[in-house]
Amino acid sequence: MERPADPFSRWAPHREVPGAGYLWRARRGVLVSQSMAQRCSVPWIKAVVDAVDRMLEHEIDIVGEGGLTFLHDWRSFTTYEAQARVELFAAMRGRPRGYVRRTMVAVPPTPLWRMAMAGAGLAYAFLGVRAPELVSDAHLLLTRETPALTMPEPAPAWFT
Domain ranges of the chain: 15-143
Per-residue model confidence (pLDDT) at position 53: 97
Structure confidence at residue 154 as a pLDDT band (50, 70, 90): very high
Where in the chain does DSSP place strands (E)? 15-17, 21-27, 30-35, 39-40, 68-73, 79-80, 100-106, 133-135
Range 15-143: architecture per CATH: 2-Layer Sandwich (3.30)
Q: Considering the entire predicted model, what is its pTM?
A: 0.92
Per-residue model confidence (pLDDT) at position 1: 67
CA distance 95 to 30: 17
Q: Is the pLDDT of residue 111 over 80?
A: no
